[in-house]
Amino acid sequence: MANPDKLKLVKDLSHKAIAFSIARVPNSNRVYFGCSDFKVYEADVSASKFEPKDLYAHGSYVTGVALAGKALISGGYDGKLTWYDTDSKKVIRSEEAHSKWIRGVFASRDGKIVASIADDMVCRLWDAESGKPLRELRGHAEKTPHGFGSMLYAAAFSADGKYLATADKVAKIKVWEVATGKSVAEMEAPIMYTWDPVQRLHSIGGIRSLAFTPDGKTLAVGGTGKIGNIDHLEAKARIELFDWAAQKRLVEYTSDKYQGIVNHLEYAPDGSWLLGAGGANEGFFIFIDAAGKKTLRGEKVGMHVHDVASSENAETVIAAGHNKLAIYEMKG
């Protein structure tokens, strides 16, 4: 069983670009990751020499990768979704999916549905195998309260695939019924949104990560607290927990030690703890108990962490970020 007390760094793997997104091949040491050099890579993180293979490119940053069966689906700031067949080793489909930057790509656990989110404030659901569009989820405002363009940063499927949560820059959260596209809950985490009316006339923050508990009853929301200096992300890492069906906030957790944005959230397979990963100039892992009441473990990571991929039992955790991948183990 994965034990945060046993967390240790086992490998630092340098890379020439920033890794924004990562997906792990089940029951293997192989990963796919998307980068700031517009490319999607494949690599074996257990190899004695780290030699990522360049597979294909987008027209801009690759900000989302997801594995659905034998298909790797990637999305980028070019607004495109690309399907890559991991068996035949070739691109099989590319769609003009969104009119603005894609912020993330997510696959349901059964690999049948893929969700893409973008700054056009639309979440689109796709049949993972055929690439056929299934439905659009619209309900996030295109503008912030001060009239600037908003951003749709985060999404997460429930473990059973019945629900999808989405969240935006102004810290609005929506939960959708996947089968119908119906909006079934709406919440807010306003402390995660900062507006600076003096220095920059600029807003920053927003909800950057979401995760359902394994039983689907609680939704974790990650971001940052109110930002004092918007140029340096001087705010504490923040996580809130919601009983989403009741549309009720359960817990507000603020880190005493780590500053920056929580870019990734995931629960232990048994639901006993929650991992938040992110950063500002430096990165962090924060493990909290499932109730969100206490910190179980904090760890400084030597980069801003953008995404995380874990093994099935969570004993291996692969962090993707600025110019490297970092491999951690926590075998209990």
Question: If you average pLDDT over residues 159-178, what whole number do you get?
Answer: 97
CA distance 155 to 125: 11
Average pLDDT, the chain: 94
For the chain, first and last CA: distance in Å? 5
Query: Is residue 292 predicted with pLDDT exceeding 60?
Result: yes
pLDDT, residue 281, reads 80
CA distance 141 to 251: 26
Task: Confirm if 82 and 98 have CB atoms less than 8 A apart.
Answer: no
- Which range has the worst mean pLDDT, 22-26, 95-99, 200-204, 238-242? 200-204
Using 50, 70 and 90 to split pLDDT, how confident is the model at 147? confident
Using a pLDDT cut of 90, give the percent of the chain over it: 87
pLDDT, residue 289, reads 97
| CATH topology (fold) of 154-301 | Methylamine Dehydrogenase; Chain H (2.130.10)
CA distance 30 to 121: 32
Residue 124 β-bridge partners:
116, 136
Compute, in degrees rounded to 10, the torsion defined by CA atoms 274, 265, 54, 152: 170
Q: Model confidence over 177-229: pLDDT tens digits?
A: 999 999 999 999 999 987 766 655 555 678 999 999 999 999 999 999 877 66
CA distance 75 to 65: 7
Query: Is residue 13 predicted with pLDDT exceeding 70?
Result: yes
Compute, in degrees rounded to 10, the torsion defined by CA atoms 30, 34, 39, 40: 30
pLDDT, residue 32, reads 98
CA distances from 322 to 9, 22, 52, 282, 326 (A): 16, 13, 15, 10, 10
pLDDT, residue 229, reads 60
CA distances from 71 to 67, 111, 129, 314 (A): 6, 9, 7, 23
